[in-house]
Structure 1
Amino acid sequence: MRWCVSVGAVLVAGAIVGGDVAGIAAPTPNSRFADGNRGVQPVNVELVIAVDVSYSMDMDELAIQREGYAHAIVSKDFLQALRAIPGSRVAVTYFEWSMSGDEKIIIPWRVIDGPESADAVAAEIMTAPVRRGSSTSISGAIDFAVQLFEENPYRGLRRVIDISGDGPNNDGAPVTGARDAALEKGIIINGLPIMVKEPSLSTTDIENLDLYYEDCVIGGPGAFVMTIEDREKFQEAIRTKLVREVAGLAPESGIVPAAEKEPRVPCLIGEKKSQERGRR
């Protein structure tokens, strides 16, 4: 079931990673910590940032998107959220995706625990060459992100996929199957639908991408969508989103929790539009 956790519960959970806090005993390690693997490093959050570079994203959008994540990671708000929990550490990896099988890791797993490590990660993001892909496979991106969790050396109280995109799934497997498989593993998926351009008949873009993300893409405890409709607010939205993911804050007004009803937009709409284009 998808639901919203309380701020207090998440902050307490994050604070007790290393031991007793304010008289509260640390919980018995769960199976992810007690798996017997030597060298496993505990963190508060394992965060996968999955960034759309499909052809529908223009070069300006790609640049703004990348700058947005780099600036967010070094922002005062992000670092304050990190410091709010003593000993807080976030493991993060950043990859770009387009069609199924076209996923490229830009930042391998890194730990951010303060300004210096945040600066290093942001610098890596900004120095990587900008690239573009072709189709849009959100399902492929989710599957790739899940595999990154399985292979990384960190273990966190929460595992979060932060996925951005400007169109529906139109390549690879249906998105709902990938989403549901991730949710079964306890992974949270948050969405950043980019709606700064009017949908065109020559593309597979849709008008209600925000509703599509809410009903077909995101899920897990406290899952939410933040919609970007103005290029000028790109960086602000990304910063707010990362802060909430690190702090585990519950959604507020303007941040939409995952829907628990029938999809308002067909989850196969991208595939349908792609087929219609092929018949023209």
Structure 2
Amino acid sequence: MRLLFALLMFCATPLRAQDTDLELVLLADASGSITEAEIRFQRQGYAQAITDPEVLTAIRTTAYGSIAVTYVEWAANQQVVVPWTRIATAEDAEAFAAALLAPPRQAFGRNAIGAALLRGRDLIEGNEIDGWRKVIDFSGDSPNSYSGPPVAAARDEVVAAGITINALAIPSERYVRNGRNTLPDIYRDRIIGGFGAFVEAAETRDDFAEAVKRKLILEIAGPAGRPRDVAGR
């Protein structure tokens, strides 16, 4: 009798259905190495990318026809700039872009990469959205971390939660060796993780918006739609 009652209760309990294709945390560098002008430059790059017709086409052709996105700046602290927003139409994307460009800088101080990754995880786990895929889109110009949990431990916790971490390497002269930017390799080794994780690189500051666009399209398409030579880990 108890077993029958338990089965009836289980059947009467509504199951939470997936309601969007992708939950995406845009985790943007706002540490001390990033100037105020670069904060605006990064935000403009993301605003331009999220409203790009190719990105909107990628969103429309997902299984659910929408994604959920939040923009967070990280440094010693982490602060949400634009809260979770469902994007399915050009109007949705324009509203997200407008909300992104308006506020002042939200994060300050030196790098705390591990804390930033865990904040991204918490934002995904604490929202009211159930996406088919869950991704943290980390961007930065350095692999160094000066406070908070170790990067490797935080990355492993995030990946264990079923979340993929991708990375965007912002150009920095500090990591150019023999004319080659080594930061993407460092991010591949130390930052990214999870199914289909990859690193995208902006070759120059002028290429930043295009690199963000490429990265968003790859993340929206998912591993099945990704060229074989892009996958990182």
Correspondent of 2:49 among 54, 62, 72: 72
SS in 1 for 2:201: coil
1:59 deviates by 2.6
Aligned: 1:247 with 2:221: yes
What TM-score do you get using the length of structure 1 for normalisation?
0.71
Find the aligned partners of 1:152 and 1:40 in 2 and give their Cα distance: 14
One-letter identity of the residue aligned with 2:52: S
Correspondent of 2:194 among 220, 223, 231: 220
One-letter identity of the residue aligned with 2:34: M
Q: 1:156 to 1:164 in 2, by over 3 A?
A: same
Alpha-carbon displacement from aligned partner over 1:158-199 (angstroms, at most 9, x marks no partner): 000000011113222210100111111110000011124335
The answer (yes or no) to whether the contact 2:31–2:110 under 8 Å persists in 1 is yes
1:244 deviates by 1.0
Aligned: 1:128 with 2:103: yes
One-letter identity of the residue aligned with 1:105: V
Aligned: 1:177 with 2:177: no
Alpha-carbon displacement from aligned partner over 1:14-66 (angstroms, at most 9, x marks no partner): xxxxxxxxxxxxxxxxxxxx9x6788761100001111100011233222211
Correspondent of 1:48 among 7, 18, 25: 25
Q: 1:37 to 1:145 in 2, by over 3 A?
A: farther
Alignment of 1:88-107 (within 5 A): 88-99=65-76, 102-107=77-82
One-letter identity of the residue aligned with 2:212: I
Instruction: Please identify which structure carries the higher helix content.
Output: 2
Count of residues in correspondence between the two structures: 215
Find the aligned partners of 1:153 and 1:247 in 2 and give their Cα distance: 23
The answer (yes or no) to whether the contact 1:44–1:156 under 8 Å persists in 2 is yes
Q: 1:220 to 1:67 in 2, by over 3 A?
A: same
Aligned: 1:109 with 2:84: yes
Partner of 2:167: 191
What's the Cα RMSD here? 2.2
Aligned: 1:165 with 2:140: yes
Q: 1:168 to 1:154 in 2, by over 3 A?
A: same
SS in 1 for 2:159: helix
Aligned: 1:233 with 2:207: yes
Find the aligned partners of 1:231 and 1:94 in 2 and give their Cα distance: 20
1:217 deviates by 0.5
Find the aligned partners of 2:160 and 2:59 in 1 and give their Cα distance: 27
One-letter identity of the residue aligned with 1:194: I
Find the aligned partners of 1:111 and 1:215 in 2 and give their Cα distance: 32
The answer (yes or no) to whether the contact 1:43–1:155 under 8 Å persists in 2 is yes
What TM-score do you get using the length of structure 2 for normalisation?
0.85
Q: Which runs of 5+ in 1 are unaligned?
A: 1-33, 201-206, 259-280
Q: 1:175 to 1:37 in 2, by over 3 A?
A: farther
Find the aligned partners of 2:202 and 2:109 in 1 and give their Cα distance: 22
The answer (yes or no) to whether the contact 1:196–1:229 under 8 Å persists in 2 is no
1:94 deviates by 0.8
The answer (yes or no) to whether the contact 1:68–1:238 under 8 Å persists in 2 is yes
SS in 2 for 1:154: coil
Q: Which runs of 5+ in 2 are unaligned?
A: 1-10
The answer (yes or no) to whether the contact 1:196–1:228 under 8 Å persists in 2 is no
1:105 deviates by 0.5
1:219 deviates by 0.9
Find the aligned partners of 2:119 and 2:51 in 1 and give their Cα distance: 26
SS in 2 for 1:198: helix
Find the aligned partners of 1:150 and 1:256 in 2 and give their Cα distance: 25
Find the aligned partners of 1:185 and 1:159 in 2 and give their Cα distance: 10
Partner of 2:93: 118
